[in-house]
Structure 1
Amino acid sequence: MKERDSNLKKEEKNPLKNLDEWEENILKRYPSSDITNKPKETFRNYNDAQVKENVKEFYRLNHKHQTYDFVTQKREDYLKFDKKEMPIWQAFDFLNQLVDDSDPDTDMDQLQHLLQTSEAIRKDNHPDWMILTGLMHDMGKVLCLFGEPQWAVVGDTFPVGCAYSKKIVYSDFFKDNSDYNNPKFNSKYGVYDKGCGLRNINMSWGHDEYIYQMLKNHLPEEGLYMLRYHSFYAWHREGEYNYFLDDHDRKMLPWVHLFNPYDLYSKSPTPPMVEELKPYYEALIKKYLPETLKF
């Protein structure tokens, strides 16, 4: 698997100018009014002509390469957490190497973007563990710094090992996926059982699963669902894959819904004052997390 990744051309690994292009596409699909009570059809009017070609190429590569075997290999590679170990604030410095030089409208680094999310949650008086969830939710993007292609770091997540929902964005691209015609993987339930629960489903590989696995022993279950499924739009926005849910998933879904607006709509051009906020977040990190994170 590593050999296949290394044989990819530069444009096959990183078709996006920056990771934010994927999130910008999500905002077109789910505008801020999408969290009001207005009918979806009134505002979901984006079309292919509005989508950048490199964003479409990103989805094509994502849907082609995210196979069941690919996910299994990435889990084996990364869930040993033997790549790096750092104090958490140093980990933010590491994440900040993902600088977006192509965007002239922002000087903000990754930590400042995460602080915007966590500060919006804090302003609305949500529990402190949810504030910390907001701060940590994109830490898994360090996968890019370990050489992973963009389509194995970000992107709408989806189950692998079973039939793909038609409501996954650009679902037609799954026809290039080797699992698409594999009878082991292309039935409704695939390798899973009806009602088995999302915790027993392998999701496409990326920053969501990685940060969930990193923090799964340290945050409440509600926060862990926010981390693991915040990019699973086919489920929490489109209502797909309900046949896999158990009662626990249904109980957790409102928490994922609660988190989603902070993930998508909390960015602003005004950077937070990191040094002023740092004492609060250092205390919050100390309350819930170990001194160092293993990557």
Structure 2
Amino acid sequence: MDHHAPSGNPLSRLDDWDDFVEARYPVPGEKAKEDYRKYDSSTRDGVREFYQLNHRYQTYDFVQEKKRTYLPLQKREMTVLEAVEYLNTLVDDSDPDISLSQREHLLQTAEAIRADGHDDWFVLTGFIHDLGKVLCLFGEPQWAVVGDTFPVGCAFSNRIVYPEFLQDNPDSRNPRFNTPLGVYERGCGLKNIHLSWGHDEYLFHVITQAGCSLPEPAQYMIRYHSCYPWHRENEYQDLVDDHDREMLPWVMKFNQYDLYSKSPNRPDWSQLSDYYTSLIEKYLPGKLAW
């Protein structure tokens, strides 16, 4: 299949979504799927505190400020592997499921995709999808980089994780922003909606401005994989358009690898580096603007 033109329903090989999840995950003896993304008394220390900060400060104006600061991509030039090496030092404070470094998470995600025989562009997407977390390298706190994303500029959904913390967000009391459409038009599409600022949107701009040849489903996976209120909770349907709905199965499929591949088992980078270096050279060679 031409890597520029993926076609068909990504779930077509199995009858329905539950069949896909059960066929691949959970691996016997490892964590069960219902134990992922649990936000309760068993959640590891720091996650609740992370979302208190995230929900308080991720306002519409804050997002505009960060886009003006970062989307010109003038902070530095780095290769993909240099960005990956930085992530080897970062543990995501928002993740309730695992405390491995981000490089190990990327490898687990990509290797799960690879094990199921998917195209190399899909494998590479798994390997790079969180590279936008290099924002922490530029001094950004984790609450402005990682965690679930959600639309700003309109009413907050009560299906956002820890919705009670959004009461501290000043936008929740601003009449301009607290209606279902807010500042947007019905059916305007995700590309015209501002999500809370983070690594997804940032990396999307890094790869597209670099002229990356990854196909559009990969770009959607990168840009929206943290937007759980949309792809998991089916919220904000008044804002999405038909093209978003067409791309949604790809994001959902990717998300299962992103989520259910997490394991305490550490991948061996020394055994995998040659393969992933070859994929980077094919799709994202040289230094990129960050």
- Where does residue 235 of structure 1 map in the other structure? 230
- Where does residue 138 of structure 1 map in the other structure? 130
**Alignment root-mean-square deviation, CA:** 2.6
- Where does residue 77 of structure 2 map in the other structure? 85
Counterpart residue type for residue 80 of structure 1: P
- Where does residue 120 of structure 1 map in the other structure? 112
Q: Secondary structure at the match of 1:244?
A: coil
The 5 A counterparts of 1:53-68 are 54-68=46-60
What displacement does 1:50 show? 3.4
Q: Which stretch of structure 1 is more off in the superposition, 201-210 or 265-274?
A: 265-274
What displacement does 1:49 show? 3.4
Structure 1: 5+ residue stretches without partners = 1-31, 38-42, 101-105
Q: Residue 162 in 1 paired to residue 160 in 2? A: no
What is the distance in 2 between the residues matched to 1:227 and 1:127? 16
Pairing partner for 2:289 from 274, 288, 294: 294
Q: Residue 185 in 1 paired to residue 177 in 2? A: yes
Q: Residue 247 in 1 paired to residue 242 in 2? A: yes
What displacement does 1:97 show? 2.9
Cα 1:279–1:254, aligned 2, differ >3 Å: closer, same or farther? same
Q: Residue 153 in 1 paired to residue 142 in 2? A: no
Cα 1:135–1:240, aligned 2, differ >3 Å: closer, same or farther? same
What is the distance in 2 between the residues matched to 1:143 and 1:69? 19
Cα 1:49–1:88, aligned 2, differ >3 Å: closer, same or farther? closer
> Cα deviations across residues 230-253 of structure 1 (Å, max 9, x unaligned)?
111111111101111111100000
Q: Secondary structure at the match of 2:288?
A: strand
Q: Assess if the C-alpha contact under 8 Å between 1:194 and 1:244 holds in 2.
A: yes
Identity of aligned residues (%): 57
What is the distance in 1 between the residues matched to 2:61 and 2:83? 29
Pairing partner for 1:200 from 186, 192, 197: 192
Cα 1:283–1:191, aligned 2, differ >3 Å: closer, same or farther? same
- Where does residue 89 of structure 2 map in the other structure? 97
Counterpart residue type for residue 164 of structure 2: D
What displacement does 1:117 show? 1.0
What is the distance in 2 between the residues matched to 1:57 and 1:269? 24
Counterpart residue type for residue 248 of structure 2: L
Counterpart residue type for residue 144 of structure 2: A
- Where does residue 7 of structure 2 map in the other structure? none
Q: Secondary structure at the match of 1:196?
A: coil
- Where does residue 29 of structure 2 map in the other structure? none
Q: Assess if the C-alpha contact under 8 Å between 1:98 and 1:145 holds in 2.
A: no
TM-score scaled by structure 1? Answer: 0.79
Structure 2: 5+ residue stretches without partners = 1-17, 24-33, 93-97
What displacement does 1:183 show? 1.4
Counterpart residue type for residue 280 of structure 2: I
In proportion to residue count, which structure has more helix?
1
Greater RCO between the two (CA within 8 Å, min separation 6)? 2
What is the distance in 2 between the residues matched to 1:167 and 1:109? 28
Cα 1:185–1:107, aligned 2, differ >3 Å: closer, same or farther? closer
Counterpart residue type for residue 105 of structure 2: H
Counterpart residue type for residue 171 of structure 2: D
> Cα deviations across residues 258-289 of structure 1 (Å, max 9, x unaligned)?
10111011123333232332222122111111
What is the distance in 1 between the residues matched to 2:145 and 2:49? 15
TM-score scaled by structure 2? Answer: 0.80
Counterpart residue type for residue 227 of structure 2: F
> Cα deviations across residues 57-76 of structure 1 (Å, max 9, x unaligned)?
21111111000000000011
- Where does residue 12 of structure 1 map in the other structure? none
